[in-house]
Structure 1
Amino acid sequence: MDTLVSLGSWPPDQASDVHSGGCRTMKTTSRRSFLKHTAVGAGLGGLGRMAAAEEKVIQGFDETSSNMREDGVWKPVSDRRIRVGIVGYGVCRFGAAFGFQDHPNVEVVAVSDLIPERCAELAKVCRCEKTYPSLEELVKDDSIEAVFVATDAPSHAQHCIDALEHGKHVASAVPAVFGSLEDADRLYEAVKRSGLKYMMFETSCYRDDCCAMRTVYDAGGFGAMVYSEGEYYHYMATPIDSYKGWRVGLPPQWYPTHSNAYYIGVTGGRFTEVSCMGIPSIVPHLKPENNPYKNPLGTEIALFRTSEGGMARMAVSWDTPGFGGEVGRVRGQKGSMTGTKFDGVADVSKLELAKPPLPPSVAAGGHGGSHGYLCEEFVTAILENRTPLVDIAWALNMTVSGVVAHESALKDGELIKIPQYSM
């Protein structure tokens, strides 16, 4: 699929509320009892976080600082509580990592994990009594309005489709799809048919730097984006434990969204074609004879053409020791940013580059203080009946470009066109 796919336009009065300068500005509503509930939730939510802190922290979960506005006060947009089901509590404890159980607009009514002990622990952390043995059973529960899919990456697309077909809004851990262009089209069509909210929880989109870059871009501070860089480094001599070993030998560009967000999550644009290169890895599980993907590459560097006509270099690496994490840089016709500092000819002095406040009970969380903001965005999008920031188009444009990039790397950098998705 090489042509632009379109879902049509959202009503202007809804689309205009999606975000203000990249980080949404909350509407103000006074509800004394609602905020009282928030404060109580803060105390309860801390118990799970204290227990988790005693274990070894996986890369990304230890980055909890967040550039939040110091003078802001969170205001609820509604006193309604969305009934949420959460699926998945593996080694990363993802199901409980984004603060749904602590959000004052959420009631976690059911949880699920295939492993009974993990399911019980997830229920305890989320203060939820109802459990299901699988996602397939949970989505049959008519009391559930929305589902957070925090399952294994190869199952994300099908699990999201199942939830959508049962009438649930869906938030998904990354990536949106796992190495399959066919699954991308299936997921896209499922969202289109359902008319429901879909959001991919890409953490880089709410890191301090990416959020500030988006604010500047939306205000015209960069002009057209000439060049972007995104890098995701996670050294794995031994891969993180995973369901059915899906992380063993994982092609780097099949997990591309942390880096690709530093263009798509800044501009909302797309990648149109790619040339990607890699180098055979010396790490044992990244040798083709040792992994189910027959993948020989531990680092893949992709050079993309963007929908603005510019260029982007996006790196994903599993086999280079040293700095670990995500970082990005952007350069436009009017200015550039590394981190949250803007240098250029445009005047951005009046822009607020810090992130808005969160509910007092919701921690900013890991991956650069992004977790709580992803939860807040998804919940608020449902309450306001608008498109969430990382919608199906952004999610697939971030993910599918990596799938095609890996194909290019296996063909020694052949330039390949990338399928396009649009709302």
Structure 2
Amino acid sequence: MSAAINIAVVGLGFGEAFVPIYQAHPSVGRIALVDVSTERLARVGEMYGVESRYTSYEDMLADSTWDAVHILAPVSFHANYTLAALRAGKHVACAVPMATDLADIDEIIEAQAASGKQYMMMETSTFAREFRAVQNLLQDGSLGDLTLYKGVHIQNLDGYPPYWLGFPPMQYITHALSPALRLTGTSVKDVVAYGSGRLDEDQTGTSQNPYPTEVGLFRLDGHDLVPEVTMSFFKVARPYIEGFSVYGSKASVEWPPVEKTTPLVYELQDLDPNQADTGLRGRRSTTVELAVDDGTELLPEPLRRFVDTYEVLPANGDAPVWKSAEHGGSHPHLVHEFISAVVEGCVPTVGPVTAAEWTAPGICAHESAMNDGERVVVPQYRGRSGR
């Protein structure tokens, strides 16, 4: 394979956002678009000047032009599309989650090892500017010991495509849980979870899941932190929120209640020796905004503009379009991590084993919720091929 990677972007609803980033990457050659909608293929293809277009995923896989695929199709396709691509000799980047079934996770790990190709789950939260800033605070000792973690993903899916009806919230856990696992470098040992509320009849779909919300406690392997995660897709009245708060013995960071505003840092102050005379008790904390880190120095120069709002000059001559950098500016970092892993032949940060460790706890949490909070042991994946 040449140094220039030819990649197919599969699913242009979410996937459109990645097209200009791949086009700008210095190690990417040609790009193909794959989508069942001919209208969407035409619109995105004309905007970005991409001539290679497929309505059939299988036809694209059969074309030896393409070295890699980035799967951004609906969740139900993730496992089968990943397996088909690996067995066709393609490198795979895949949106979250890796799979919704433990057997599929095992099969993907085995298929990746047999293929010799790279696999990366494109988890946005651990490549976002907010996570990078928190990670820096932990590494320089500012947070102290991690003692409490709360992950949350609340998103009302009324009006979304029908395949989301009744989707078990915990099976989409990676955005809310993975920051805790990356910060601690651990995996989940076991989980206890409960469902909260009941879906209306027209929201249940075919999954047999009755819960609009699921809440879980995750016990880690080798770390005292016990992450608490709340996942909700229906019947909760609040704007979208997807984030995490992490608390330490010296300082803490809380996710803001309103998306796209800055998290707050609380720093514990020394106990005032004269405080008892005032009638007050306990140690006080100062509050400042988190200094976020876009990490542009980690990116090739052509990708740096994609960490913030950027301009697209349509190839068809239409007026310029401004696009927002969603998910904390993570998209160019994800692209660069995946392409670098392919070019250098190294396991990406969220390789198959790490992806399994971040995905399986949610599958097990839903099992726990469906069994009235029964403790469920999570499979362990370390020692298998791929990080």
TM range (shorter): 0.7 to 0.9
Structure 1 residue 208 corresponds to structure 2 residue 129: yes
The equivalent of 2:311 in structure 1 is none
Of 214, 236, 253 in structure 2, the residue corresponding to residue 320 of structure 1 is: 236
Map of 1:95-114 to 2, 5 A cutoff? 96=18, 99-114=21-36
Cα distance, 1:228 vs. partner?
Answer: 1.8
Cα deviations across residues 241-300 of structure 1 (Å, max 9, x unaligned)?
Answer: 2xxx321111111111110122123333211100101123354543xxx41012110111
AA partner of residue 306 (structure 2): A
Q: What SS does the aligned partner of 1:293 have?
A: coil
| Counterparts of 2:29 and 2:200, CA distance in 1 | 44
Moved more, 297-306 or 394-403: 394-403
Identity %: 30
Deviation at 1:353, TM superposition (A): 6.3
Q: Is the 8 A contact 1:230 1:329 kept in 2?
A: yes
| Shift in CA distance, 116/267, structure 1 to aligned 2, threshold 3 Å | same
Compare relative contact order (CA 8 Å, sep 6+) and give the higher one, 1 or 2. Answer: 1
Among 166, 171, 175, which residue is 2:97 paired with? 175
- 1:418: Cα distance to partner? 0.6
Deviation at 1:157, TM superposition (A): 1.1
Deviation (angstroms), 1:334:
5.7
8 A Cα contact 2:24 2:302, kept in partner:
no
Q: Deviation of residue 211 (structure 1)?
A: 1.8
Aligned residue type for 1:363:
F
Task: Tell me the SS of whatever aligns to 2:80.
Answer: helix
Taking the aligned partners of 1:141 and 1:129, their CA distance within structure 2 comes to 15
Can you list the C-alpha shifts for 1:201-242, whole angstroms capped at 9, x where unaligned? 111112222122233445566566433221111022x1422x
Report the 3-state secondary structure (helix = DSSP H, G, I; strand = E; otherwise coil) of the residue aligned with 1:419. coil
Matched, 1:240 2:160: yes
* Residues 10-25 of structure 1 mapped to structure 2, 5 A cutoff: none
Structure 1 residues 145 and 342 mapped into 2: Cα distance closer, same or farther (>3 Å)? farther
Contact 1:88 1:112 survives alignment (8 Å): yes
2:294 aligned partner: 355
SS at match of 2:193: strand
SS of the aligned residue for 1:226 comes to strand
CA contact (8 A) 1:98 1:372 kept: no
Q: Please say which of residues 275-284 and 213-222 is displaced more in the overlay.
A: 213-222
1:57-96 aligned within 5 A: 80-90=3-13, 92-94=14-16, 96=18
**Aligned positions of 1:113-132 closer than 5 A:** 113-132=35-54
Distance 1:283 1:262, change over 3 A: farther
Say whether the 8 Å CA contact 2:251–2:265 is kept in structure 1: no
Please give the alpha-carbon distance, in whole angstroms, between the structure 2 residues aligned to 1:411 and 1:304.
16
The residue aligned with 2:282 is none
What SS does the corresponding residue of 1:253 show, helix, strand or coil? helix
Count of equivalent residues: 330
Amino acid at match of 1:399: T
1:388 aligns to 2:348 (yes or no): yes
- Equivalent-residue separation in structure 2 for 1:282 and 1:151 (angstroms): 25
With over 3 angstroms needed to count, the CA separation of the structure-2 counterparts of 1:294 and 1:239, relative to structure 1, is farther
Is the radius of gyration larger for structure 1 or structure 2? Answer: 2
Structure 1 position 402 matched with structure 2 position 326: no
Taking structure 1 as reference, are residues 416 and 80 closer, same or farther at Cα in structure 2, changes over 3 Å only? same
Residue 230 of structure 1: SS of its match in structure 2?
A: strand
Tell me how far apart the structure 1 counterparts of residues 242 and 47 of structure 2 sit (CA, whole Å).
Answer: 28
Report the alpha carbon displacement of residue 369 of structure 1 after superposing the two structures with TM.
1.6
Q: Answer yes or no: is 1:378 the counterpart of 2:338.
A: yes
The TM-score normalised by the length of structure 1 is: 0.71
Instruction: Confirm whether residue 153 of structure 1 aligns to residue 72 of structure 2.
Output: no
Mapped contact 2:194–2:215 kept (Cα < 8 A): yes
Q: How does 1:255-274 map to 2 (within 5 A)?
A: 255-274=172-191
| Partner Cα distance (2:328, 2:170) in 1 | 21
Q: Which residue number in structure 2 is paired with residue 57 of structure 1?
A: none
Judging changes above 3 Å, is the alpha-carbon distance between structure 1 residues 97 and 411 closer, same or farther for their aligned structure 2 residues? farther
- The Cα RMSD (Å) is 2.5
TM-score w.r.t. length of structure 2: 0.78
The partner residue of 1:337 within 232, 242, 253 is 253
Q: Equivalents in 1 of 2:57, 2:342: separation in Å? A: 21
Following the alignment from structure 1 to structure 2, what is the Cα–Cα distance between the partners of residues 252 and 321?
16
Structure 1 CA distance, aligned partners of 2:348 and 2:171? 23
Stretches of structure 2 that go unaligned for 5 or more consecutive residues are 255-262, 270-290, 308-324
Partner secondary structure for residue 209 of structure 2: coil
Offset of residue 413 of structure 1: 0.9
User: Following the alignment from structure 1 to structure 2, what is the Cα–Cα distance between the partners of residues 368 and 98?
Assistant: 17
Structure 1 residue 407, shift from structure 2 partner? 0.8
2:19 and 2:196 mapped to 1: Cα distance?
34
- Displaced runs of 4+ in structure 1, greater than 6 A? none
